[in-house]
Structure 1
Amino acid sequence: MAASPRRESEGGRRADNDTTATPVLAGEDRRTVGLREKHKIRTRNAIREAAMRLFQEQAYVRTTVEQIAREAEVSHTTFFRYFASKEQVVLNDDLRDAKNDVIAAIPPGLSHFDFVRELIRSIYLLAKNDPWTSNPERMRLIQTEPTLRVSQQLESDRAIYDTIGMMADYLGVDPENPRLRVFAAAVGGVMFHLANERGDHWDDSILTALLDAIDLLEQGLPL
């Protein structure tokens, strides 16, 4: 007989609150590692699903971390083990490792414009195919909640600086090079503006618009 969701959650809570994590030794059954990772994913998803239910029922601003934890049947401590804040439940997309893999797969020798084209195309498709990142209700919250919009803009600004370092490594130039910094800021500003003015972020026409914008930048912004 399958265990009830509450029983599974309580069992997971005991595991999450156990701070004496056992290191994985050579030769240890790899299924253990896989089960741990699956449990983390289930717990993370449970917190997100609980949060989204509460946001819909009583609005984002009136929902607290304590309420989300209770709805997800996890402890307050467990919540903060997975998310730094209520905002991050919505904003975090869990794609850091996948994005790094995409960046590492970009072939060497591209120009700075072709590098950006490949980066935009790959990251867009990665995000579009991720159920949480492309969740329409998540996007609606980010667009309509002022605190989320501000936090997203701050994260977007940080992403531009991350892009500077990434491009510097790829192109073999100094990350403090003012031309590189202006280029990254121009690309980032155009991308975020175009993305935020679209109602449907995952209509493929937005990818076309983003790539067309890179073409215009490369042509010197002709009118």
Structure 2
Amino acid sequence: MTAGSQPGLREQNKARTRAAIRSAALELIAEQGYQATTVAQIAKKAGVSHTTLFRYFESKEQVILSDDFDDAHRRILDHVPPGLNHFDLLRRTVTEMFRIAADDPWVTDPQRLALILTEPALRMAHQIEADRAIQEMTAFFAEYIGVPEDSFALRVFVAAGSGVMMHIAERSGAPSEDTLTEFLDALDLLEKGLPLS
């Protein structure tokens, strides 16, 4: 599906099924807790088969964690103009990805966010997902800027940027323009050498 195009009937049906599964999961978890909630229970409440649920989500964790943004993120990276320095590249990619997330009701759902922060299994799975995203972003930056992927300077830069972003996101909760502004201000500080006054 191209940007700006309307999803077809098949895509709409898939989106409804995913939403039904997610809604069922949140309802059951609220009633009986995360650990006590099974995939079979989620499937039954959502009105789908166990097999169908696994066609949409790899695991119970992924029902809560997944955000459906892979295609959008690829489009953002594919359309980055050449010639940006590493700070401007980070500003651009984070701003565009953030705005997609902030407009998505599933990603910003307070119940989902609270679960990810408080349920140990979800928190660990979320960290693994974050580590994978950082590795992918490091590879993208390396190719764009023209430095080796194992460059120490690049790894430090990505670690600093992602660390600040995760700290601000966790403290802020749901994405908002204030969260993005705080991250961009923090990035300005990093670019200036992190002055403390």
TM-score (norm 2): 0.90
Match of 2:174 among 190, 196, 201: 201
Q: Distance in 2 between matches of 1:120 and 1:37?
A: 27
Identify the residue that residue 127 of structure 2 maps to in structure 1: 153
Shift of 1:106: 2.3
Q: Distance in 2 between matches of 1:133 and 1:213?
A: 23
Q: What are the residue-to-residue correspondences of 1:176-191 with 2, within 5 Å?
A: 176-191=150-165
Q: Distance in 2 between matches of 1:207 and 1:38?
A: 30
Identify the residue that residue 168 of structure 1 maps to in structure 2: 142
Q: Distance in 2 between matches of 1:222 and 1:147?
A: 38
Shift of 1:107: 2.0
Identify the residue that residue 188 of structure 2 maps to in structure 1: 215
Could you tell me which runs of 5 or more consecutive residues in structure 2 were left unpaired when the two chains were aligned. Answer: 1-6
Shift of 1:216: 1.4
Q: Which has the greater radius of gyration?
A: 1
What amino acid does structure 2 have at the position aligned with 1:97? Answer: D
Match of 2:166 among 192, 215, 221: 192
Name the SS for the 1:197 alignment partner. helix
Post-superposition Cα deviations, 1:104-144, rounded to whole Å, max 9, x if no partner, equal 22222110001001111111111001121111221111122
Q: Distance in 2 between matches of 1:175 and 1:118?
A: 20
Q: Which runs of 4+ in 1 moved over 6 A?
A: none
Q: Which stretch shifts more, 92-101 or 40-49?
A: 40-49
Q: What are the residue-to-residue correspondences of 1:19-168 with 2, within 5 Å?
A: 34-168=8-142
Q: Distance in 1 between matches of 2:61 and 2:124?
A: 10
Q: What are the residue-to-residue correspondences of 1:9-28 with 2, within 5 Å?
A: none
Shift of 1:49: 1.3
Identify the residue that residue 21 of structure 1 maps to in structure 2: none
Shift of 1:208: 1.2
In the alignment, is the contact (CA less than 8 A) between 2:116 and 2:126 conserved in 1? yes
Q: Distance in 2 between matches of 1:105 and 1:131?
A: 25
Q: Distance in 2 between matches of 1:186 and 1:136?
A: 27
Identify the residue that residue 3 of structure 2 maps to in structure 1: none
The share of aligned pairs that are identical, in percent, is: 52
Q: Distance in 2 between matches of 1:120 and 1:180?
A: 17
Q: Distance in 2 between matches of 1:79 and 1:183?
A: 39
Q: Distance in 2 between matches of 1:182 and 1:170?
A: 17
